[in-house]
Amino acid sequence: GKGNYNHFMQKEIFEQPAVIGDTLHSFINPATRSIKLPDMPFNIGDATRLTIVACGTSFYAGLVAKHWIERYAGLGVDVDVASEFRYRCPPMPKGGIALFISQSGETADTLAALRYAKSKGQKILSIVNVPESTIARESDVVLQTYAGPEIGVASTKAFTTQLTVLACLAVTIGRENGSLSAKDEAGIVSALTELPKQVAEILHHDEEIRNLAINIADARDVLYLGRGLGYPIALEGALKLKEISYIHAEGYAAGEMKHGPIALIDPLVPIIVIAPSDDLFEKTVSNMQEAAARGGRVIFLSDAKGLETIGDMASATVEMPAVADFASPILYTIPVQMLAYHVAVHKGTDVDQPRNLAKSVTVE
Ligand code: F6R
């Protein structure tokens, strides 16, 4: 049941500190601050290319993973949506590894993409939330997310636990291929173990985010901007908002604004900026200024240091806990979920069962 919550989605958002913790516990050895994935019938450190395929929110988890694996493991990663990948019939490298990400483990396009990759001799890895699912059964190695059943159609805790597993995978590949030292691994493990507490901290901003949501509930269009690890979170924020509140929303790489979408900006378009104070922060701020200069209503998500830098340039802010760069996408997902949730509740839409959507998409 929903317990004390009004919707499954709300309950599932609030379960995230616990389920991220459960997922971490299954892959982390806290004593040695190292990561231990299940044994694999191949050496992942030998991979010369990794192909990631998924749909929807799970695809955005793949975009974050690309960033992590390229940066921390030095391994090139291709990421594609399953419905494009499978019909393109792409060549796949001999001895390559393909990774499929799916909450349900039953998404028809993702499953078809898996079968295609298998026919091309790839080793098949999957990240699923349902261990007895078809995708799990047809994989060589299954990495499970311990999100528990996800009932709300809009994916929340499945996404953040997918990211948690992908972080562990990125570290493992880096260690196995020699790109990541034991010291770097320990640093990342420490950052990951901070997450449940930091996520819980953001959940305390519920009332504040609800008030921001009320202010954007009348918008016709909303833009989400981010760079680097923040870009997939901008995409995810926009998807969450459109699917449950039916407001048109777009996620953009902040640097792409000037190549077109900036033409959309007027005082009626709220712009949500995902901006942890990492090495891309200054660039994101200059994109934010371009938007603000054209009358855009900016809602700026950053830590205390970032918020101090921008002074009163944004019309609203959400103060996030300071977080290691590596872990920021997991943390910054939480407020965009909460924002979408509260907009939908304010508009009175069916949060758990949005129109036209199914929890598990078994049609092609
Ligand atoms: C969005 C959402 C969908 C799913 C997509 C893939 O909130 O839930 O975009 O992420 O249908 O589903 P799975 O992960 O079950 O393959």
103 C-beta closer than 6 A to ligand 1:
yes
Confidence of residue 30 (pLDDT cuts 50, 70, 90): confident
269 Cβ partners below 8 Å, 6+ apart?
219, 221, 222, 223, 296, 297
Mean pLDDT confidence for 346-354: 93
* Per-residue confidence (pLDDT) for residue 95, from 0 to 100: 82
pLDDT (tens digit per residue) in 93-140: 888 999 999 999 999 999 999 999 999 999 999 999 999 999 999 999
Nearest to 332 by CA among 209, 244, 242: 209
DSSP class of residue 327 equals G
pLDDT (tens digit per residue) in 239-273: 999 999 999 999 999 999 999 988 889 999 999 99
* Per-residue confidence (pLDDT) for residue 3, from 0 to 100: 93
Taking CA atoms only, the protein residue closest to ligand 1 atom 10 is 57
- Among the listed residues 2, 120, 283, 359, the single catalytic one is 359
DSSP class of residue 89 equals -
134 C-beta closer than 6 A to ligand 1:
no
Q: Which residues of 164-193 are buried (b: 16+ CB within 10 A; e: fewer)?
A: bbbbbbbbbbbbbbebbeeeebeebbebbb
- Amino acid letter, 221: D
Across the chain, which distance is largest between two alpha carbons, in Å? 56
Taking CA atoms only, the protein residue closest to ligand 1 atom 9 is 56
| Confidence check: pLDDT of 1 > 90 | no
What's the pTM?
0.98
Confidence of residue 194 (pLDDT cuts 50, 70, 90): very high
Q: What percent of the chain has pLDDT over 70?
A: 100
Strands in 50-54's sheet, in edge-to-edge order, are: 77-81, 50-54, 97-102, 123-128, 141-144
Distance CA(322)–CA(280), nearest Å, equals 15
Pairing relation of β-strands 34-35 and 28-29? antiparallel
118 classed as catalytic: no
Tokens at residue 225, please?
């901007």
Distance CA(192)–CA(194), nearest Å, equals 5
**Tally of CB atoms within 10 A around 355:** 9
* Per-residue confidence (pLDDT) for residue 242, from 0 to 100: 97
* Per-residue confidence (pLDDT) for residue 360, from 0 to 100: 87
In the block, tokens 């449940």 appear at 196
Distance CA(257)–CA(37), nearest Å, equals 39
Atom of ligand 1 nearest to the CA of 110: 16
**Tally of CB atoms within 10 A around 40:** 15
R_g of the chain, CA atoms, integer Å: 20
- Amino acid letter, 52: I
191-195, 198-202, 316-320, 360-364: range with lowest mean pLDDT: 360-364
Nearest to 161 by CA among 29, 32, 25: 25
